[in-house]
Structure formats: C-alpha cells, structure tokens
Amino acid sequence: IPLEPCIIGGCSVYVSVPEANVDVTKNIFVYSKASGSNVSFYSFATEHDPTTWAKTGLHLSTTEISIMNYNSKDVGPIAIYVVGSQAREYTEISDQVEIYEASNLNMRPQKNKMMTMIMSAEPFNLFVQAYGANLNAFVRATGFDNNFQKQSPDDCRIIYEQNQGIPFRLRINSPIVTINFDGQFDYKICAKIDKYNGALIDYSGVATSQGYIGCSRNFFETYQSSIYTSSVFELEDDHDTERQTQLTYVANMLGTDKLSFTAF
C-alpha cells in the first residue's frame, strides 16, 4: 500500500493495535524504496514516552513509502495514522500536540499543549475535566492535521464543541479523535477501552457511530473494522431523578439506510 502523504518531504506514521493482536505487527513493515529498508510496525507501535506515556511514531524523510503486510491471514483490528511532514498543518503545530493510546491515557492537568490526539483500534470512552473558569475545546474524529483550527483542510466536521467549565464525555467508536484546547486552561483526560455498544448520559458530550470520521473531502468515508458489527447502539441515562435530556443527531446515510430511535 503506497503512502501518498509521504510523497512531498516524508511523513510520520502512528499505529494502534490491541494488546491481544500485537504479534501481527511483527509482520507488517514500512518499506522505503530509496533505502530498501523495512521497519516493522512492532518496533514503534507499542513505544511511548516513559514520563508522559505519549505515543512514539515513525518519522521518515524519504518520499516513496509503502506498507507491506506479510501476514498470511487478516490482521485487524489495527489503526494507522499517516501525516505528511511537509504539510503546513504539520510544520506549524506538530510541537503543539501529544498523541496517546486510549489504553494508556490518564493525563494530569496541563496547559502546555494545544491539542491531544487519541488513537485506538477498539471503541473507547473519554472523560474531559477542566481546571479553570471555562474550557474552550472543539473535537473532531480525525488526526491533528485536521483539527488545529476551526477550518479543516479536508472539511471534517466538528463533532463536539464546548465553552464552559463543566466536564464532558466522548464515546468514540472510531480509530482516532483530536481535542483542541486552544492552549488556554488546565485539563485532565481519562480514557477507557469499552467494547460495549453503548454509552452513559451523565454529562454533555457526543457518541460517534461505528467507524465515523466525518470528512466530506473523502466523501464521509468510514473506518472499517471487524469489531464494528452491531447496528444497535444504546444510550443510558445515568441519573436517578427525572430530568429533561436533549439528543441531537447528524445522519449521513444512503437512500436505502434507515435510522430509528427506541425509548425504554
């Protein structure tokens, strides 16, 4: 598989794979035509900074890069994020983002990074708490190159936006999400892998449909995975007292698709 983002000036590659499936990465390689070298996914997929637990990617200066899979069977689930090193979005803000595995994320309050990007080949929950008067944040189910400002290069939809001090919760059924905090306030993020096809309504937030990315430039193409098999998604209100709950949805469907809501 050729990596088009690498054509101009190289690229960075990040890989997320469940621990139970990590052995397949030993037989998947990033191949450089110029040097003839192969670098296995395994060599960097599970690496992280020992202090912050931020993910370590593979950074390449060569331009003709391909992914070579030598496994004899299906290798999923696995998530791969590739960003061109010479893209304006990368050179301007790559030092203003930290990238984490959802399975390793439990961040302390900080204000030195504008964005946090989280990857996972499995569905996960995020809980975001502010330590300030307000928490200015907007979220996309994309990499950081499409969420460094309100206008997205690939016209990717903002899935959640907040400007208040209360916590919010994100249920992500997608391989990647980036939260832009605008570098203004302290915050904490907790994450948990959760394969249950549902979410609690205890704070404001958003739940994405399976494989949702939301970029019109790519015709709203979705991430495909063997994990995403159910067509039913449950939202459970976690409050004992009666209250009014407001649900808003956005649907991108084919003419033959159907969407229904059931309350019980």
Within 10 Å of residue 224's Cβ, how many Cβ atoms? 11
Domain finish residue from 64, 86, 108: 86
One domain for residues 127 and 244:
yes
Please give the tally of structural domains in the chain: 2
The model's pLDDT over 25-67, given as tens digits with 9 standing for 90+, comes to 999 999 988 778 899 999 999 898 888 889 989 988 877 889 9
Q: What is the pLDDT of residue 247?
A: 58
Query: Does some domain include residue 31?
Result: yes
Q: What is the pLDDT of residue 94?
A: 78
Q: What is the pLDDT of residue 153?
A: 87
Q: What is the pLDDT of residue 76?
A: 75
Query: Does some domain include residue 182?
Result: yes
One domain for residues 100 and 78:
no
Query: Does some domain include residue 113?
Result: yes
One domain for residues 136 and 177:
yes
Query: Does some domain include residue 264?
Result: no
One domain for residues 126 and 210:
yes
Query: Does some domain include residue 261?
Result: no
One domain for residues 163 and 37:
no
Q: What is the pLDDT of residue 194?
A: 84
Global model pTM greater than 0.75: yes
Q: What is the pLDDT of residue 264?
A: 45
One domain for residues 103 and 18:
no
Query: Does some domain include residue 163?
Result: yes
Domain finish residue from 35, 64, 86: 86
Residue range(s) defining the domain that contains residue 52: 1-86
Rounded Cα distance between 79 and 69, Å, is 14
One domain for residues 22 and 153:
no
Query: Does some domain include residue 248?
Result: yes
Query: Does some domain include residue 243?
Result: yes
Can you list the residues of the chain whose pLDDT is less than 50?
264
CA distances (Å), origin 207, targets 47, 204, 238: 29, 10, 15
One domain for residues 100 and 16:
no
One domain for residues 119 and 223:
yes
Q: What is the pLDDT of residue 210?
A: 85
One domain for residues 148 and 214:
yes
One domain for residues 163 and 241:
yes
Domain finish residue from 40, 63, 86: 86
Which of 75, 70, 68, 81 lies closest to 11, judged by CA?
81
Rounded Cα distance between 172 and 199, Å, is 10
One domain for residues 64 and 108:
no
